[in-house]
Every structure is written in C-alpha cells, then in structure tokens.
A and B are shown apart, each in its own frame.
Chain A
C-alpha cells in the first residue's frame, strides 16, 4: 500500500471508531487533536487498525508512536 492509501484507510477507521465523519487525518495528528481519543479509545483504535491492516503492533511500537505519521511508518514497513 502507498502512504496515501494507508492514511486514507486509517482515516476511515478513525471515523468509524470515533463516529465522526469530519475527521481528516494528517501525518501530524495526535490524541490532542481528537476530543474522544483517550486511553481507552486508544486501545479500541489500535485493535481496529490491527484488524484492518492484518498487523499486530509490538509493545515498543505501541508505546513509541507519537502521531499518526509514526503509525503509518510502521504500517508502511510491515503491511
């Protein structure tokens, strides 16, 4: 998948999880940009991303991701 395709697919997942079609992800998007992105929603989000992309993040990856761009880096390398 291209970077753009990954970001587009992730955007769809974010919109579903947060039930908000106005979400427009960028590489710089963080939890601070989406009101309902708290620690519990983060777990749901990671689980949905993993299922959709067929990839399970490692412990270091989960703890290390600082924004959507870093998540895309991991998905680009591994899917």
Chain B
C-alpha cells in the first residue's frame, strides 16, 4: 500500500493494477445492492439484449476505483470525496481489467488531488473512465 501525503504526492504520478472479473462478483454485488435486474442476473436475458453474457454492474466495476485511490494513489491516507464515472463498454465474467490513474491536479489549499482514471479490458478497449477527487487523512506520527 502506498503512503502518499498531500506533501509527497505530485502531479503526473501514476499507478495501475490488473484484476480478473469472476462470476462471484455478480453474487456479491447483488447481495450488497439488491439490484436483481436481469441484465446482471440472467444470461439468457442479456443475450436477448445483444450481449454475449451477463453484464457486470457498472458500480461493481467502479469499485476498482476505490482500490486505485485507497491502496495506490494516494493510498493509506486517502479520503475519497468524489468520483465521476462513465461506463462506456460492457464488462463480463472472465474479463481481465487494467485500472490506471494519473494525478492531474494538486491543490494544497484544500489538501486535495484530482486523479484521471480509466479501466481497460484485455483487448485494450476502455470500459470505464473516471475523475476522482481525493482528500487526505492525517499521517500517523512516530
């Protein structure tokens, strides 16, 4: 886990990680959200709609932005304040997603950074893009 503070983080810093989507994600997100829309729960319905399989919940994909901010950029002292997200292509079980982000702006007056982030699948297609605004918790003192 990274430990950037408002003092040490800089514009232009980047981070990324890769994650495979599994079928369990659908059940876990259903349990949390209660969203049983058939696009996410019924493969036959999804196919009727022109998708090759059940489509992952967009907000489940977006959960990866939470990891990007809370673990990588800025990491331990992150306080995620705002997340503007678009879901531009469907995500399916088995997809290998690469999540990446770049610090675009840093405002020391408000102890806040703006991070441009995106998620791409194994074919390199962008499935989601987002702008994250992160504040900072106080770093522990020795």
What residues of chain A have their CB less than 8 Å away from a CB belonging to chain B? 40, 43, 46, 57-59, 62-63
* B residues contacting the other copy or chain, number (CB 8 A): 8
Give the contacts of B1-33 with A (CB-CB under 8 A).
Answer: none
Q: A43 to chain B: which residues have CB within 8 Å?
A: 107, 110, 112
Please measure, in the bound complex, the distance between the C-alpha atom of A43 and the C-alpha atom of B108, giving whole angstroms: 12
- Our pick among A40, A46, A59 for the contact of B108 (Cβ within 8 Å) is A59
Chain A binding surface, main DSSP class: helix
Please measure, in the bound complex, the distance between the C-alpha atom of A7 and the C-alpha atom of B110, giving whole angstroms: 24
What residues of chain B have their CB less than 8 Å away from a CB belonging to chain A? 81-82, 107-110, 112, 133
Q: A57 to chain B: which residues have CB within 8 Å?
A: 109
Q: Would you list 14 pairs from A and B whose C-beta atoms are within 8 A, ordered by A residue?
A: A40-B81, A40-B82, A40-B133, A43-B107, A43-B110, A43-B112, A46-B110, A57-B109, A58-B109, A59-B108, A59-B109, A62-B109, A62-B110, A63-B109
